[in-house]
Amino acid sequence: MSNPLTTPQSVLPLRHLNELFNVAHDRPFSILFANYSWALGVAGGLALLWAINAWINVRRGRFDAVEHRFTMPLIAALIVGGFVNVLAEVEQPGHLIYGYYLGWYNWNTAIIKYGIILLPIFLVLAWWLSFQSVPRQRLGDEIARLPGTWRKLADIFSFGSRHYSLFDNPAGTRIVLAAMVFLGLFAPMYSALFLMNEHGVPLWNSPAQAMLFLASAIGVAALLELVVVPALAWLVSARWAAAPQHNRWTAVIALAVCTVVWYGWMWWIGRFGTIEEERAANLFMGPYAKEIFWNWTAVGLLAPILLLITPIGRSPVAQALACAGAVWGSYATRIGILLGGEAINRSGAGYMNFHHNFEAFWYSGVSALLTLGILAALLAAVPRDEAQSTPSSVPNKG
């Protein structure tokens, strides 16, 4: 079925022989790819927002703002959870290890070779900054109360953060913030660039999905800063401190960009794309149209935007609903792009019969539990005697 808004011309169907051949082949990627694309993407979006907020807060001498204190533990937890999906996807962790010292003869052609270096660096920096974001005196008092062996272990896991503060060194702070901006841009676009380098799938060989992944990651990150980060501060201190309300409008702009890019992309490939791209547009606007509309357009884009731009957007309930919708929508679009590309070029007639296997759900659950566990562990390391009554560095304005 064609959609006249995207593919007004007739689109040649797949040849029967190709359909019979392709349906016998498994898809190269599972939802585990969407899992780590989402987790690493949101971690990158949070890193971008954190770096901007940190620059403002440090210049003002504000170290107790909730977005400065509690964003990094969430980033570190998301990166760890994303890595679990990466290892499960490649099936053998040794494949990643070999990438460090084998196959570098054509290293400019494989984004994965950059990822296996930059993403672990991203994790180390996020872990370190989780402790650097705690005022040094408070962290030192907390660690000093521990017994000898536990004190040494605490110093190891916190990289000795009680003995120095990054933010006392302006030059070092600028370097680290610049690194976080770079890694914050790389992480959301990593999986998109990975798909763009896959040969034989024209739908994936487009910069539009990189724009979608980046914009959706920033939109979700802004809403997490608005809703989840203050909740993390409350769990630690039992006091609520509102996050900057400008994140509300950041989310609106990012989600609006997603809307324009997605439907502009579908319109463009439906009218000016190759035969394979036209088939993909027909797939998204035909057999997959219902799933795309409800999971991505309605729940992930329109509902959050409407909730945030109306007067009820100041309500914590409306913001929480918008956050939940954007989280699900950003994940759904990754699954849609992943499965849509595979359906046309890798599975042919079998795209309607595809079902997820138990292993993918198992590893998805494991990564989710690990993410929550790492986040809980990092929050437990935050000094309990700290009073988070200080409001955010940005006024709470609608």
Q: What is the dihedral of CA 141, 58, 376, 161, to 10 degrees?
A: -40
Place of tokens 């679009």: 333
User: Taking each helix axis from N to C terminus, what angle separates 358-380 and 71-90, rounded to the nearest 10 degrees?
Assistant: 150
pTM for the full predicted model: 0.85
Residue 86: the pLDDT is: 77
Residue 382: the pLDDT is: 75
Residue 279: the pLDDT is: 81
Specify the higher pLDDT residue, 270 or 258: 258
Residues 6+ apart with CB under 8 A from 36: 82, 83, 84, 85, 86, 89, 191, 367
Give the whole-angstrom CA distance, residue 99 versus residue 122. 18
Residue 143: the pLDDT is: 87
Residue 197: the pLDDT is: 79
Assign 321 a pLDDT band (cuts: 50, 70, 90): very high
Q: Domain segments of the chain: what residues?
A: 1-28+199-354, 30-197+358-393
Residue 349: the pLDDT is: 47
CB contact at 8 A, 300 and 325: yes
338: pLDDT strictly greater than 90 = no
How do residues 197-252 score in pLDDT, each as one tens digit?
Answer: 777 778 888 899 999 999 999 999 999 999 999 999 888 877 777 777 889 999 99
Closest CA to 120 of 46, 43, 50: 43
Place of tokens 């927002």: 49
Residue 122: the pLDDT is: 95
CB contact at 8 A, 276 and 345: yes
Residue 5: the pLDDT is: 58
Place of tokens 């509902």: 303
76-88: b or e for each residue (b if 16 or more CB lie within 10 Å)?
bbbbbbbbbbbbb
Mean pLDDT of all residues in 47-71: 83
Token code pair at residue 123: 């994790």
Specify the higher pLDDT residue, 58 or 249: 249
Residue 24: the pLDDT is: 46
How do residues 124-168 score in pLDDT, each as one tens digit?
Answer: 999 999 999 888 888 888 888 888 888 899 889 989 888 998 888
93: pLDDT strictly greater than 90 = no
